[in-house]
Structure 1
Amino acid sequence: MATLLGTYTPKLDEKGRLILPAKFAEDFEHGIVLTRGQDRCLYVYSAAEFDAVHQRMRASATGNNKQTRDFMRLLLSAAHAETPDRQRRVTVPAALRGYAGLERELVVIGAGNHAEIWDAEAWNDYVSSTEDDFATAAGEVIPDLF
């Protein structure tokens, strides 16, 4: 799987579908998993990557840790498998659209091993609220990055 990069601005149609970016087509052609993401966005994994993420969660899960159980429950209970059609369209289930507050205008970003779907206004607010921290935090967040 290639590293997913970039920012795209598809629209949600009246049937709750969006067209995934062409740059992601090869990674997502064998199926995707849409699920609840952090910060009120949706995560989009290739089916293979979602399986790998699930296996890492299971391997690291400490059976009686409430935080681990809560995280896994929320991520997995919202998961929805889908195969993009020939036009790269996928349907976003109503529950996930509601969770992320998705309206017609969307932003899809590449986030490394997955993509994220944001309501355009929510994405712009997020970027505005985190830009100053981004400008100063690289060394603290990821040591020796630059």
Structure 2
Amino acid sequence: MFLGTHAPKLDEKGRIILPAKFRDELASGVVLTRGQERCVYVFSQRGFEEQHERIRQAPLTSRAARDYLRLFLSGASAEVPDKQNRVTIPANLRAYAGLERDLTVIGAGDRAEIWDTEAWNAYYAEKEEAFANTEEEVIPGLF
């Protein structure tokens, strides 16, 4: 499970050092793809396959499902961490998420997310109050 908030830097070659807490789960390979809210999703190979299988359950006749699957998969890139635990973020994903040098990597349960730090801070500031005021109807059975 991916948890926590980390602040790595993007190097001049577009690489990121994976947070130490994520390395065991990602050692055999990662899949990077477009995330919602203009971040990059980071899945373990197994996690990506599970996510893909869930998406495939949607009917082929659903335009929204087809659109989502196309964008999700067309941006995907399988990577293997190097000996220094670095992963290259492809240029198209860096551009999509507006990634510069300062990054924020968050654990989001079944995946990690890579955010430009300014974008993450803005998102967090906007959503924190709603999070604090979450009621049962938002996530049934949570409280």
Instruction: Compute the TM-score of the two structures, normalised by the length of structure 2.
Output: 0.97
Q: Shift of the alpha carbon at 1:138?
A: 4.3
- Alignment of 1:70 with 2:67, yes or no, is yes
Give structure 1 regions of 4+ aligned residues with deviation exceeding 6 angstroms: none
SS of match in other structure, 1:67: helix
Structure with the higher fraction of residues in helix conformation: 1
SS of match in other structure, 2:109: coil
Q: For residues 84-140 of structure 1, what are the alpha-carbon distances to aligned partners after superposition, in whole Å with 9 as ceiling and x for unaligned?
A: 112110000100000000000000000000000000000000000111111111423
- How do residues 13-92 of structure 1 correspond to structure 2 at under 5 angstroms? 13-58=11-56, 60-92=57-89
Stretches of structure 2 that go unaligned for 5 or more consecutive residues are none
**Root mean square deviation, CA, Å:** 0.9
Q: For residues 33-52 of structure 1, what are the alpha-carbon distances to aligned partners after superposition, in whole Å with 9 as ceiling and x for unaligned?
A: 00000000000000011011
Match of 2:102 in 1: 105
Letter aligned with residue 64 of structure 1: T
State the alpha-carbon separation in 1 of the partners of residues 15 and 33 from structure 2: 15
- Alignment of 1:94 with 2:88, yes or no, is no
Match of 1:139 in 2: 136
State the alpha-carbon separation in 2 of the partners of residues 136 and 120 from structure 1: 24
State the alpha-carbon separation in 1 of the partners of residues 29 and 135 from structure 2: 34
State the alpha-carbon separation in 2 of the partners of residues 33 and 110 from structure 1: 15
Q: Shift of the alpha carbon at 1:143?
A: 2.3
Q: Shift of the alpha carbon at 1:72?
A: 0.2
Instruction: Compute the TM-score of the two structures, normalised by the length of structure 1.
Output: 0.95
Identity of aligned residues (%): 59
Letter aligned with residue 144 of structure 1: G
Letter aligned with residue 130 of structure 1: K
Match of 1:115 in 2: 112
Q: Shift of the alpha carbon at 1:144?
A: 2.9
